[in-house]
Amino acid sequence: MHQNIGFRLSRLPRLWRAIIDERLAPLGLTQTRWITLYHLWRLGDGQPQCDLARAIGVEAPSLVRTLDQLSEQGLIERRPCEQDRRTKRVFLTSEATPLLEQIDEVVTQARREMLTGLSDDDVKQLDALLAHIENNGLAIQARESGV
């Protein structure tokens, strides 16, 4: 049983995103776009591009193209940081709000369906277990990178 946990943990996020991607496709959203918008919405306006990239789990240069596309769509604005002109901060526009509400509905519904059959206590325990596994992984990374 232990041998399958890693495979299951790697498959689950792909499955989760695939379900959401399919449901958001009619809105013309690619995975990179909806994930970027959703993270910015959850993190709050004014995120530095590098922090947003880190939160999403991509390299900052990879995020630039997506931000360019979202900016062209009128969904975000990039403004220089007052403390560091080299840094750009990302802001949602008012045009993004209705789209984000639709994304949130899709994500919430997918979460509800994916967690069907689990009680609130089950979900709390699952969250605690996943956090524990994540913390173990972060400790391994820190130890192996010499941090």
- pTM as predicted: 0.79
The pLDDT, as a whole number, for residue 70 is: 95
The CATH number of domain 2-116 is 3.40.50.970: no
Measure Cα distances from 17 to 11, 22, 29, 31, 98 in Å: 10, 8, 12, 8, 21
The pLDDT, as a whole number, for residue 25 is: 92
Average pLDDT per consecutive 10 residues, the chain (147 residues; last block may be shorter): 84 94 91 93 91 90 92 94 80 95 95 97 96 94 85
The pLDDT, as a whole number, for residue 4 is: 87
The pLDDT, as a whole number, for residue 71 is: 96
